[in-house]
Structure 1
Amino acid sequence: MRKGQYRFVAGFLLVPVALYLIFVIWPYIQTFGYSLTDWKGQSQTFDFVGLDNYKALFQDDVFLKAIWHNIQFLVFIPVITILLSIFFAFMVNVGGRSRAGGVSGVAGSSFYKIVYFFPQVLSLAILAVLFNAVYRSDGGGMLNGLLIKLGLVDPDSPVEWLNEPGIVRWALILVVVWHGVGFYLVLFSAAMQSIPRDVYEAALIDGAGRAQSFFRITLPLLWDTVQTAWVYLGIVAMDMFVLVSSMTASMGAYGGGPNHESDVMSTVMMRNFLYFGKSGYACAMGVIMLLLTLVLSVVTLRATRRERIEF
């Protein structure tokens, strides 16, 4: 690259890099700085306390419980969402191969794609309102009403889906999975359409079944897309603020009930920042969240790395 070209490229990069440093990197640096103080949020004065906030974090039972909840979401949300998305994408693209005309999706596959993708157009706030009605703890809720009609639940003691410690996190996981499956179905469908149909037809001629086609052809050729989806879903699992704070809001400031059984790191952080006025302490939580998310991304990319398959 000639000297003039360096100047040309640098001229285009200067403004975007400067904006990135100002609006992305600098806030991170400020947050780390505040995490070393006893800043109360409203006051412009604060004292340097060093690593005291970080020491207090690892003695905070609520925050440690929230980390464990995020880990549970981190395990179940990506696994369930990716498995369902790949299965549905496989069915709507190559699952109907027994029909005439070679390898094809099941009948009505275009319609199924629209139906599965529909939840993705709804915002998380709308989802929270919708599923609050589904999970109502009386006979008027969709789930309780159905179970009462089937005789599986006593009308006088319906299930309190969002107020039972053993159920509330699974209820939240169901919402995230229901919302995300459609998007990742479209993502995996796009990746599957790049796989030559000749590969599936050759496997069909050789007598391969659907399970063999999936595990020997589809999954290996989709691995890069699965890896990307896993990272994005992991980031979703590390957040969960909107759903937890909206769907369990009646159980305390920024949700988290019952008895902090649905708390995640983001809700604990916002509660300390805005409700308790412990802003420096909350900034330390934000730094820990950033570090955990970065570690998650690196570990996931390294753990799922494999030799690229060309076709």
Structure 2
Amino acid sequence: MRHRKYPFIAGFLFVPVVLYAVFVIWPYIQTFGYSLTDWSGQSQTMNFVGFDNYSKLFSDSVFKKALVHNMLILVFLPVITILLALFFAFMLNVGGRGRAGAVQGVRGAGIYKIVFFFPQVLSIAILTVLFQAVYRSDEGGLFNGVLVKLGLEDKQHPIEWLNSPDLVLWCIIGVLIWAGVGFYLVLFSAAMQSIPKEIYEAALLDGARRGQTFFRVTLPLLWDSVQTAWVYLAIAAMDVFALVATLTPGAYYGGGPDFHSEVMATYLMRNFLTYGKSGYACAMGVVILLLTLILSAITLRITRRERIEF
């Protein structure tokens, strides 16, 4: 009977595996092949150039600047998003205290979760329109308007949020954090609800403070969820094309001003669709893929801990 089930399982797996190979694996192989040529994207003729495109990447000042920007996003986006999501989830789920030392969530926790999760239902286009109003470089912008009302900014010289080389990348990171915290708050909240309340109550009865229960109880028991969130956010940090292309100034897929918000994905698209350097763009795509895989593997390795049972 055991041997008879193998053909049955293989029959179900055959079609999905074939579809995955055709629509996922084969495009990766094609992209690597194109990266070894001088293909322009407009014609069928191409010449084999070996690894010339890859050697040009590491002497390309714009690509190196875009790589640094992706690394900055990779550092700040996961750390800040996870810390805020953990803090809010902890406060919502165990922030209240019932009678006799019992632990419970705050009132209206479900409503708070919906409010925090709301940015997840917004498309990139809506986020762009929303934050273009927030970052407007006059008194009509939300940030500038508030600063003017508080007397912290001169009405005649408002802050150019998206036109300032020193601020534009941090504005992008701020939008990503604002849009992502709600999702991971719900993720961590679901994981916290599986932790028995008796563990928190025992810790409180033993004299532990809320901060101690968070670091000694909550965080170790949520480590699998934190690890998953870290990997997803690391991948998101390598792929911020849509937001940068639509929100930041600059001709042809954003990246301005003067490449100060450029990321690898926007530079790839500019080379592919505007400059006619499709082979060069494919080399960038291969580098982005390899970096994403390496960073995901490193993240999983660094954050690996023994599983705690309860």
Q: TM-score, normalised by structure 1?
A: 0.98
* Structure 1 residue 252 corresponds to structure 2 residue 251: yes
- Which residue number corresponds to residue 87 of structure 1? 87
Q: Distance in 2 between matches of 1:99 and 1:4?
A: 59
Q: Where does 1:124-139 land on structure 2 (aligned, <5 Å)? A: 124-139=124-139
Alpha carbons of 1:100 and 1:125: their partners in 2 closer, same or farther (altered >3 Å)?
Answer: farther
Conserved 8 A contact 2:63-2:264: yes
Q: Where does 1:1-311 land on structure 2 (aligned, <5 Å)? A: 2-97=2-97, 102-248=102-248, 250-311=249-310
Following superposition, the deviation at residue 214 of structure 1 comes to 0.2
Equivalenced residues, count = 310
Q: Distance in 1 between matches of 2:100 and 2:289?
A: 52
Following superposition, the deviation at residue 106 of structure 1 comes to 1.8
Following superposition, the deviation at residue 2 of structure 1 comes to 2.9
Following superposition, the deviation at residue 6 of structure 1 comes to 1.1
Report the secondary structure of 1:162's partner residue. coil
CA RMSD of aligned residues (A): 1.1
Q: Distance in 2 between matches of 1:156 and 1:132?
A: 20
Following superposition, the deviation at residue 100 of structure 1 comes to 6.2
Following superposition, the deviation at residue 130 of structure 1 comes to 0.5
| Seq. identity, % | 70
Following superposition, the deviation at residue 45 of structure 1 comes to 0.6
In structure 1, what residue type is equivalent to 2:48? F
Q: 5+ unaligned residues in a row in structure 2: which ranges?
A: none
Higher mean Cα deviation, 12-21 or 118-127?
Answer: 118-127
In structure 2, what residue type is equivalent to 1:87? F
Q: Cα deviation per residue 1:201-258 (whole Å; 9 max; x = unaligned)?
A: 111111111001000000000000000000000111111101100001x322110011
Q: Distance in 2 between matches of 1:100 and 1:149?
A: 47
Following superposition, the deviation at residue 97 of structure 1 comes to 2.1
Following superposition, the deviation at residue 11 of structure 1 comes to 0.4
Report the secondary structure of 1:151's partner residue. coil
Following superposition, the deviation at residue 150 of structure 1 comes to 1.1
Q: Distance in 2 between matches of 1:194 and 1:46?
A: 57
Conserved 8 A contact 2:101-2:204: no
In structure 2, what residue type is equivalent to 1:169? L
In structure 1, what residue type is equivalent to 2:241? F
Q: Distance in 2 between matches of 1:100 and 1:170?
A: 46
In structure 2, what residue type is equivalent to 1:14? F
Following superposition, the deviation at residue 120 of structure 1 comes to 1.0
Which runs of at least 4 in structure 1 moved beyond 6 Å after TM superposition? none
Report the secondary structure of 2:24's partner residue. helix
Report the secondary structure of 2:238's partner residue. helix
Following superposition, the deviation at residue 101 of structure 1 comes to 7.1
Q: Cα deviation per residue 1:109-161 (whole Å; 9 max; x = unaligned)?
A: 12211111111111122101110111011111111111111111111110000
Report the secondary structure of 1:257's partner residue. coil
Q: Distance in 2 between matches of 1:231 and 1:267?
A: 22
Q: TM-score, normalised by structure 2?
A: 0.98
Following superposition, the deviation at residue 297 of structure 1 comes to 0.4
Higher mean Cα deviation, 2-11 or 75-84?
Answer: 2-11
In structure 2, what residue type is equivalent to 1:292? L
Q: Distance in 2 between matches of 1:128 and 1:99?
A: 46
Q: 5+ unaligned residues in a row in structure 1: which ranges?
A: none
Q: Cα deviation per residue 1:166-202 (whole Å; 9 max; x = unaligned)?
A: 1111111111111111110000000000101110011
Q: Distance in 1 between matches of 2:86 and 2:73?
A: 19
Q: Distance in 1 between matches of 2:22 and 2:101?
A: 57
Following superposition, the deviation at residue 3 of structure 1 comes to 2.8
In structure 1, what residue type is equivalent to 2:244? V
